Chains A and B, each alone.
Chain A
């Protein structure tokens, strides 16, 4: 679980997860094209995500496809968030979101 928290502690890695959420099963080249970062940099971050189990890969011919694996995030939710996030907590987080969206609309 430490590995998951560490992997999530980096904004580029969170960005990579968001990209895979939008479009799953991407190649390294596909991900690299979307990020202002070297191929080597993207590779390094993907490796950390893979080691944390947040990204899984499958081979297709010579290509390697990257898939978002949200299960470790669910495990964190069930262990660390669910317990504390009773309905009032989710109501507060919704309130925060509403207020922030209003702020953006202005």
Chain B
């Protein structure tokens, strides 16, 4: 789907969502935090994402042996600026029924910080908001990790971090 077509479906809640955050870090550090399995775990409810991060490659987000969260393909990989991924949620039967959507990560340096924009689109009409509802917590945790080196420990943010295999 090209950009025009993607926008053409914007209408009801859920076809496209945009999340933005400013983080005091470099594009390289931010890219690393997004693509490193170990770093990712620390701000994604304890869920690691594994991939070789080449264009066309697959990725899997899971707590091995406990829960599968998502899978998809890396459609565009342009470090440290842009990552486009297909996204299929796996954590429940309800979200599996939603099928494939798309997640675009865009990093733009602003002064001594970076603006990170995550666009989750190609969602179905009136998509289950569980699909994209976790982004604010993930991005808040990512900011905390990069700016302080510490994990966010608000309720829910460490959901799987104590789980076996995590």
Contacts and interface: CB of A to CB of B under 8 A. Distances in A.
B154 A65 contact: no
Given A60-B10, A65-B10, A75 B15 contact: no
B56 interface: no
Interface in A60-75: 60, 65, 67-71, 73-75
Interface residues of A, number: 22
Interface string A27-46: 00000000000000000000
A48 B157 CA distance: 30
Q: Which 6 A-B pairs have the closest CB atoms?
A: A74-B136, A82-B154, A67-B18, A25-B10, A60-B7, A74-B140
Contacts of A25: 10-11, 15-16
Nearest to B153: A82
B18 A70 contact: no
Nearest to A81: B154
Contacts of A73: 136
B80 interface: no
B144 interface: yes
Contacts of A74: 136-137, 139-140
B13 A24 contact: yes
A58 B137 contact: no
Interface string B105-119: 000000000000100
A21 B20 CA distance: 16
Q: Determine the main DSSP class of B at the interface with A.
A: mixed
B17 interface: yes
B19 A69 contact: yes
B152 A78 contact: yes
B67 interface: no
Contacts, number: 61
B137 A21 contact: no
Interface residues of B, number: 27
Nearest to A23: B13
Interface of A: 21-25, 53, 56, 58, 60, 65, 67-71, 73-75, 77-78, 82, 87
A53 B20 CA distance: 8
Contacts of B152: 78
Interface string B92-128: 0000000000000000000000000100000000000
B20 A69 contact: yes
Given A69-B18, A70-B136, A74-B139, A22 B13 contact: yes
